[in-house]
Structure 1
Amino acid sequence: MDISDVDIRRMQPFQSNRHYLHDRTVEGLGLLYAMHWPFRQYETARDVRRSPLHDRLAACGACFGEAAGWERPNWYAPDGVEPQYAYSYGRQNWFAYAAEEHRAVREGVGLFDQTSFAKFLLQGRDAEAVLNRVCANNVAVPVGKVVYTPWLNPRGGIEADLTVTRMAPDQFLIVTSVTSQTRDFHWLSTHIPDDAHAFLTDVTSAYSVLGVMGPSSRQLLSTLTPADLSNAAFPFGTSKEIEMGYAWVRASRITYVGELGWELYIPTEYAVPIYDRLVEAGAEFGLKHCGYHAMNSLRLEKGYRHWGHDITDEDTPLEAGLGFTVAWDKPGGFIGREALLKQKEAGPLRKRLVGFVLDDPEPLLYHDEPIYRDGVMAGCTTSAMFGHTVGRSVCLGYVHADTGVTASDLKRSRFEIDIAGQRVSARPSLRAFVDPKHERVRG
Structure 2
Amino acid sequence: VTFFSVKTITITAWTVGPDNPSYYRFENLKAAVERLNKILEDSGADIRVKLEGFFNTTGWDDFKQKVVFGFQAKQKFDILCSGHDDIGAWAKAGYIIPLDDYIKKYWDEVYYDIIPSLWESTKFLGKIYAVPQDTEARPFYINKKVLKKLGWSDEEINALPEKIRKGEFTLFDFVEVAKEAVNKGLVEWGLYHRPKMGIDYFQIFTSFGVDFYDEEKGIFVFNKKEMYKVYEFFYNLTNVWKITPKAMIGTPWSSVHKDVTSGKVLAWMGGTWNWAEWIKDYGKTDEELQEMFLVAPTPKATAEGKPNTLSHPVVYMIPSHTKYPDLAFLIITLATDPKLNFKHAIESGHLPIRWQETVFPEYRKNFIMVEGTKLLPFSSFIPNDDKFNEFNRIIFDGLSAVEGGTLPGKVVDDVAKRLKNQLKDKVVIVEE
TM-score (norm 1): 0.22
Bigger helix fraction:
2
TM-score (norm 2): 0.22
Bigger strand fraction:
1
* Structure with greater contact order relative to length (CA < 8 Å, sep ≥ 6): 2
Who wins on radius of gyration, i.e. which is larger?
2
